[in-house]
Amino acid sequence: MNKGILVTGAAGFIGSHLCESLLTQGHQVSGIDNFDPFYDRSIKETNLAGFIGHPSFDFIEGDAGDRNVLEKMERKPSVVIHLAAKAGVQPSLKDPSAYIRSNILMTNTVLEWMREQGIRKLLFASSSSVYGNMEEMPFREDQLVDFPVSPYAFTKRSCELMNYTYHQLYKLDVVNLRFFTVYGERQRPDLAIHKFVDKILREQAIQLYGNGDTSRDYTYWKDTVGGIEGALKYITGRENVFESINLGNNSPVKLIELVREIASLLKVEPEIVYEDKKQGDVDITYADIGKAQRLLGYRPATGLAEGLQNFITWFRAKT
């Protein structure tokens, strides 16, 4: 058990699942979340509802990029799991400066605070977006990732590089975890699976960008959380750590196949409208998970049909 773990973005999709899991294992957890208005506050409040009163959980509402918020913490953690960020490729094209502030500058504030407080262990939520339109697949961590195709992607890659600088200068131990299209219960309402299920059940047309051939390495939240927890064990048991590690499913699925699977589970024939592919979107994400298997004992176990059914059951229960 760790002396204390700080989770930024604790009320979000992945963050809330992670906090619940860590508390179940007996960890002392502190959470920070700023309830960014990107989507309705009530969604995050519901995410927190199951554990907000847990005796081993402290929560601060505020921005992790605000030094005053970080200094409100009652317990100094031994590990920081930095999930908080502005997410989404398309919104980043519309307001890149907001992504620079919320992602790069916030991460710098967290790193500076860690350095001054003597906190030496960081797990950072990066993204498969850093790979851009890489031709060689599956994506490996040792590939050159200097060609991001969206502001969101370049903020995540910038943070990886900044983390390395703090590792070199100040001996912080860091694992950059590159998440691949995490889905499941509590998923943000702007994401594809959430939107598709909602629209199909409302008998509304769904929009597919391009010809439906773009592919994503959909990874169920429980597998991602298991990977984060594996990284937590890895980093707390070692010194002089700097790694970037994929957390994916090693099984890309075409967008049109995703829609067909959802429709089959819902027993509905959807209306599909095809639109032009959007700027900034990549053609495929495909994770090589060999490194995660070797270092973290990572074994994604949830197939797409099972994960989608879990999401659909949750979605119907809440609507």
Q: What are phi and psi of 156, to 5 degrees?
A: -70, -40
Cis preceding-peptide flag for 138 (omega within 30 of 0): yes
What DSSP state is assigned to residue 28? -
The secondary structure of 230-294 as a DSSP string is HHHHHHHT-SS-EEEEEE--S--EEHHHHHHHHHHHHT----EEEEPPPTT--SB--B--HHHHH
What distance in Å separates the CA atoms of residue 56 and residue 75, rounded to the nearest whole number?
A: 11
**Cβ–Cβ under 8 Å, residues 187 and 254:** no
Helices 221-236 and 13-24: crossing angle in degrees, nearest 10, is: 60
Residue ranges of alpha helices (H) inside 8-150 are 13-24, 41-48, 67-70, 89-94, 96-99, 106-117
Residues 99, 131, 152, 218: which is the catalytic one?
A: 152
Is 99 marked active-site? no
What distance in Å separates the CA atoms of residue 188 and residue 293, rounded to the nearest whole number?
A: 28
Q: Whats the size of the chain, residue-wise?
A: 319
3-class SS of residue 103: helix
Tracing tokens 């992670």 back to the chain, one arrives at: 18
Q: Which residues does the annotation mark as catalytic?
A: 152
